[in-house]
């Protein structure tokens, strides 16, 4: 099962975006007073069980809107209509691949999240 990595500072945020060159970075974006989305944690943990070598192919992080809202918002695709500064406690998941945000999912929407993970997860590493 995957460990949730909490992004603590700008360097860590940048490192996660850099890591998306090799892995799918799934970022649980939340308000400090609301915390990570507990409702989708079982779904995310199942994903790590369902994909072979999942730990090598994706990483799960959490990121505070209060601390990183501007960085997050500027990373979203131009056609994304999510405005983090107006977000209440609605869950937001941002998926990053090749240093770009490839998807933003709002709400407790497991089918959309699973579909985006499936569409963006890198191929499993070839055994050496």
pLDDT digits (tens, 9 = 90+) for 27-70: 999 888 887 788 888 888 888 889 999 999 999 999 999 899 99
Global pTM value? 0.91
Mean pLDDT (the chain, rounded): 90
Alpha helix (H) residue ranges in 20-127: 41-50, 54-57, 65-75, 110-120
pLDDT digits (tens, 9 = 90+) for 12-33: 999 999 999 999 999 999 888 8
pLDDT digits (tens, 9 = 90+) for 82-97: 888 777 778 899 999 9
Would you list the domain boundaries of the chain? 4-120
Nearest-10 Cα torsion for 86, 74, 28, 116: 110
pLDDT of 70 reads 92
CA atoms within 13 A on the CB side of 10: 2
State both tokens at 27.
């970022």
Domain 4-120 sits in which CATH superfamily?
Answer: Glutaredoxin (3.40.30.10)
């Amino acid at each position: 099962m995957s460990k949730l990595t909490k992004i603590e500072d700008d360097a860590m945020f940048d490192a996660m975006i850099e890591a998306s060159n090799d892995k799918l970075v799934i970022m649980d974006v939340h308000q400090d007073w609301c915390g990570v989305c507990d409702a989708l944690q079982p779904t995310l943990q199942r994903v790590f069980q369902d994909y072979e070598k999942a730990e090598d192919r994706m990483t799960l992080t959490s990121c505070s809107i209060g601390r990183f809202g501007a960085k997050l918002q500027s990373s979203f695709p131009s056609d994304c209509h999510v405005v983090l500064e107006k977000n209440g406690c609605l869950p937001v998941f941002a998926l990053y691949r090749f240093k770009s945000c490839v998807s933003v999912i709002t709400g407790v929407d497991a089918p959309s999240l699973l579909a985006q993970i499936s569409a963006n997860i890198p191929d499993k590493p070839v055994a050496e």
